[in-house]
Structure 1
C-alpha cells in the first residue's frame, strides 16, 4: 500500500515538474523571439531563474520544491545551462514506449484540439480561410495531403507546416503541447500579434 502511494506521489511530481518545465521554456521562448539579438546562455539562465524563483515559494509546487531547487542550483556558474536541464524534465511523466510517428502526430493533434476546443483544418497555404471561426481560433495544417509527410511505415519524412490564429493564451496551449512532446519539436517561421506559423519536425 505504501509503495503504491509513493509511486503515485512520484508520478504526480513528475507530471508537475514536466508541466512547470514546459511553462518555463515557453516563457523563455517568447523572450528570445521578442529580443532583437541572440541571447547568450547566461542571460537565458537569468530569465529562467527569475521566472522560477516565485514558484519555489508556491504551495502548488510544494511536491517538487527539492528537485526544483536542485535544478536552479545546478544551473549556477559559468557552465550551467538551465534550459537544457528543463528540457530533460519535459515529458518526464510520459512512458518511453516508442510509437510510429503518425500515431504520435494524431495523438498530439487530438490533445491540441481538446485544449483549444477547435478542429484542426487541412488546406493548401493559398486556400486557407483566415477568417474561419472569427470568435475562436484557427489551426490549420498547410498541406495538400497529409500522407505525403509520412512513409509506408508511418515515419515522418517531411516537416509539417502549421498556421495558428488566436489569442496568446491559446497560442501558449498550442505551442506548449508540442513542447511537451517527446517526438516532435517546432520552429517558428513567422509570428505577429494574431498569427504564428511553425514547422513541425522530429525532436
Structure 2
C-alpha cells in the first residue's frame, strides 16, 4: 500500500470516528462527558481491529483505543489533532509523488509494469509507457503538475485500466486515442483538482 493510500485510510477512519461521535452526541438530550465520549469512540473503533481492510492501520487503531481507555485520556482531542495532521500531509503530497504512487499501485495491485518510453524501445503488450519529455515538462520543480502526463499502452481492455486509474482518485485518466485493431492506446493523466 502506498503512503498516500495509508494516509487516506487513516484519515477516513479518524473522520468517520469523529462523525460517529458527533452523531451520537447530537442525538443525546444531555451533555456527554469526556469518559462517555471516549467509550463511544472505543466501541466504534474496536470492531475495525478485526476487519481485513484496516490491517495496515491496525497498530494506529490500537493506539487510538488505548488512548481512549487511559484514565484522563481525551480520544476526541487526539483524533482531531491527527485529522489536522492528516489534512496537512495530504495538502503537501505533490502530483509527482502521486504519479509514482499510481504506478506502484498499478504494478503491485494490478500487475501493470511501467517503463520510460524512448524512440528505440520496442513496446511490449501490457506495459505502460510514460513519455520522458512529459515527465520533464509536465511538473514544476515543486512537483505540481502543470500539463497532462501521457501514457501509452497496448492492451485488450484499455477502459478497465482507465477505471483502475480513476478509482485510485490520484488522477483523472482520459482516453486520448485508441487504435482498435492494434489495441494501442494513448491515455492522458490530469491532476484530480482540474477534473
Greater Rg by CA: 2
Query: Which of 1 and 2 has higher RCO (CA within 8 Å, sep 6+)?
Result: 1
Structure with a larger share of its residues in helix = 2
